[in-house]
Amino acid sequence: MPVELAMSSFTRIISDLERCALTGGDVEAFARGAALPDDLGRALVRSRRLRVLDWLAQSGLSVVNVMRSATPVFLALAGERPINDKHAVAEVLWRRLEVEASERDPSGWLVETGRYEVMLVEARRTRTQPPAPREGIALRLVAEARIAAIDPRAQAVHVALPDHDVPTENAAAILEAALAAQTSDRPCAVPVMAFGGIGDAPGTVAELDEDVARVLAGLAVAPRSLAELRRSLGPRLDVVLENHLLVSAEGA
């Protein structure tokens, strides 16, 4: 086979694999196009999908390391919908695991930890610095920012969870020990925002003032100008501007 033909085949096969594994596609068609048996095609697609789960675990979703159902639930999810936006997959996956999580830990801290960790994954989104917001223009929050109601004390459980997959027989004890790191009775949710860092800078997960959260969340429905935001938030607007979290809502 000529080198040029081989190289175009490499590119095409990788593209087909990515498309099939991440956005849904005919596995048999992928296998045929790559001159592979169907079952090997299935194994490759499965393996590619699990790289996304590995990434989620390495990016902060440590709960999946102690929940054996995480892998089959994730693979089922990957078979039903696109998983190419891996940051967004974290929330969808955790919503599917929440029922089991609340059964395993009725205190609610495992569920809360998963929600907190979803925010950690969201904060991994990278972004470029948007243009500085101009006066008189309707503004909205950047797409890479996310606001949710979470108890940030769940961080104590997160830190105590392993950042790697553990043997099934050890998982329950490891989880029990991690939950013991949180001694409060029940979680108490407060507004929290996650946003990605600019360039190589790390992202942030931070508590928000109730008023600031309400105003910023409201921008999705009713964009506001800088002047209006200053009137509502006063000096609390400064940290929003310093983190480049506002963009023009025009053309959105």
Interacting residues toward other proteins by CB under 8 A: 1, 6-7, 9-11, 13-15, 17-18, 21, 34-37, 39-40, 42-44, 46-48, 51, 54, 162-168, 170
Cβ 152 to other proteins, closest distance in Å?
A: 25
Least separation in angstroms between residue 173's CB and other proteins is 12
User: Is 25 in contact with 82 (CB distance < 8 Å)?
Assistant: no
For residue 74, the minimal CB distance to other proteins (Å) is 13
* DSSP bridge pairs for 91: none
Q: At what angle do helices 210-218 and 226-233 cross, to 10 degrees?
A: 160
Closest separation between CB of residue 161 and other proteins, Å?
A: 12
Sort strands 204-207 and 139-141 into parallel, antiparallel or unpaired. unpaired
Would you give the DSSP letter of residue 250? T
Nearer to other proteins, 46 or 104 (CB): 46
Locus of tokens 């392993």 = 162
Q: Which is nearer to other proteins, 1 or 221 (CB)?
A: 1
Reading the block at residue 20, the tokens are 């099939």
Beta carbon nearer to other proteins, 42 or 96: 42
Instruction: Provide the minimum distance between the beta carbon of 7 and other proteins in the complex, in angstroms, as a whole number.
Output: 5
- Closest to other proteins by CB, 36 vs 239, is 36
Nearer to other proteins, 93 or 247 (CB): 93
Distance of closest approach, residue 76 Cβ to other proteins, in angstroms: 11
Dist. CA 187–CA 244, nearest whole Å? 31
DSSP secondary structure string for all residues of 91-113: HHHHHHHHHHHHHH-TTSHHHHH
Instruction: Show Cβ contacts of residue 39 under 8 Å, excluding neighbours closer than 6 positions.
Output: none
Nearer Cβ to other proteins (31/156): 31
Spatial distance between the Cα atoms of 89 and 121, rounded to a whole number of angstroms: 9
Question: How many Å apart are CA 232 and CA 26, to the nearest integer?
Answer: 52
H/E stretch holding 231: helix 226-233
| Both structure tokens of 225 | 């100008």
Q: CB of 201: closest distance to other proteins in angstroms?
A: 20
When the beta carbons of 167 and 235 are compared against other proteins, the nearer one is 167
Q: Which residue type is seen at 179?
A: L
